């Protein structure tokens, strides 16, 4: 019986060690399987494969693996964008491409090859919100002088979108207004739009919107966003806009970091990452070098494709605990045997 228990303990220990050492390989195998499915003939199969690939890329930052596979992934996305049979397939392909670009943002050559795809065939109402979000990200890298020359016409476009019936598009347009004002005022501190009075009136109405035909959650989110937008327009000096500061905490529990979002540029970039990465945002803010550079977080604490990642450490703890348990049991058996021998000797001497 003791030998059987010892054998079972060894088997359990071996299984845990195999799990610990192969977690990265399991992730890579799932990626390869999903890529194979993305080449299938069935549109639904390809759509499901894109969803799986997106989820996998959100959960881990595996730069070495992606450097060898990004061209294949880009080809799969490009083919679905040009020849996809359903809108859903194309939407999921775009989502995958977005996560892929973020995953490779620290490698300029790889990132460039993933962005030369054709999006013109996509027909979706969510495309307009995504396009506006993309333009806001573009404004973050343009100079204040360049934006100043475009500001009047851009604000006219944003003003029209503020009356759209989709809450996400209204909020994105409001964010664009605040971002544009904050950037342009770096060039001209007294900048104002030709129809600024009408704009401020509309923005103020959106901060108190109470129409019952809109969902309560949408009304609450809209009011919160537009209060910050109105505050940005009403205060020209840099000190007053500090009311809009937002602090978020990222990283593993044992090494938490604070990200300070004190400009509309940082808010725009952070919101875009939230939309693309979902639950994987914390992972990329912790391990993705390119993402960390955007928020001035410095180098990551430890690459996620390193063998000492947090998930692997938990498995290693299980192994150590099992080893300690096995040693403890062996020690107890030895002590019990010694006690039995002493009892036998005592009986013999009596």
Residue 9's pLDDT is 56
Phi/psi of residue 248, nearest 5 degrees: -125, 150
Beta strands in the chain (DSSP E): 246-250, 257-261
Residue 25: exposure state from Cβ atoms within 10 A (0-12, 13-18, ≥19): exposed
Task: Name the token pair of 86.
Answer: 């359903």
Q: From CA 237, how far away is CA 217, in angstroms rounded?
A: 32
Q: From CA 310, how far away is CA 334, in angstroms rounded?
A: 36
- Full-model pTM: 0.69
| Average pLDDT per consecutive 10 residues, the chain (350 residues; last block may be shorter) | 52 52 80 91 92 92 87 89 83 88 75 51 65 87 92 93 88 93 92 90 86 74 88 66 68 78 90 88 89 87 55 47 55 65 52
Q: Are 66 and 104 in contact (CB under 8 A)?
A: yes
Residue 291: exposure state from Cβ atoms within 10 A (0-12, 13-18, ≥19): buried
Residue 311's pLDDT is 41
- Is the alpha carbon torsion for 322, 325, 331, 334 positive or negative? negative
CB-side exposure of 341: number of CA atoms within 13 Å? 6
Q: From CA 223, how far away is CA 309, in angstroms rounded?
A: 41
Contacting residues for 264 by C-beta, under 8 A, at least 6 apart? 175, 178, 179, 182, 183, 232, 244
Q: Are strands 257-261 and 246-250 parallel, antiparallel or unpaired?
A: antiparallel
Q: From CA 295, how far away is CA 140, in angstroms rounded?
A: 13
């Amino acid at each position: 019986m003791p030998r059987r228990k010892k054998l079972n303990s060894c088997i359990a220990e071996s299984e845990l060690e195999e799990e610990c050492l192969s977690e990265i390989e399991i992730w890579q195998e799932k990626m390869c399987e999903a890529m194979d499915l993305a080449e299938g003939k069935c549109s639904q199969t390809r759509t499901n494969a894109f969803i799986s690939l997106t989820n996998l890329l959100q959960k881990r930052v595996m730069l070495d693996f992606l450097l060898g596979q990004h061209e294949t992934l880009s080809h799969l996305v490009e083919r679905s964008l040009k020849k996809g049979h359903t809108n859903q397939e194309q939407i999921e392909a775009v989502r995958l491409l977005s996560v892929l670009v973020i995953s490779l943002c620290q490698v300029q050559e790889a990132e460039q090859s993933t962005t030369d795809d054709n999006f013109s065939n996509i027909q979706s109402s969510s495309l307009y919100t995504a396009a506006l979000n993309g333009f806001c990200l573009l404004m973050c890298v343009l100079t204040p002088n360049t934006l100043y020359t475009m500001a009047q016409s851009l604000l006219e476009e944003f003003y029209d979108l503020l009356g759209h019936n989709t809450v996400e598009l209204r909020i994105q347009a409001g964010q664009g207004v605040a971002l544009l004002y904050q950037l342009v005022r770096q060039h001209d501190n007294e900048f104002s739009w030709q129809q600024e009075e009408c704009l401020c009136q509309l923005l103020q109405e959106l901060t108190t919107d109470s129409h019952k035909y809109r969902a309560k959650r949408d009304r609450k989110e809209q009011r919160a966003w537009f209060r910050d937008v109105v505050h940005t327009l009403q205060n020209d000096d840099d000190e007053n806009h500090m009311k809009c500061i937002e602090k978020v905490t990222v990283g593993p529990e044992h090494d938490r970091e604070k990200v300070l979002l004190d400009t509309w540029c940082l808010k725009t970039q952070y919101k875009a990452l939230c939309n693309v990465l979902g639950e994987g945002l914390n992972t990329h803010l912790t391990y993705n070098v390119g993402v960390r550079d955007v928020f001035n977080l410095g180098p990551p604490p430890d690459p996620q494709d390193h063998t000492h990642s947090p998930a692997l450490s938990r498995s290693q703890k299980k192994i150590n605990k099992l080893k300690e348990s096995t040693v403890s049991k062996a020690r107890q058996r030895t002590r019990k045997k010694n006690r039995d021998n002493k009892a036998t000797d005592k009986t013999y001497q009596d």
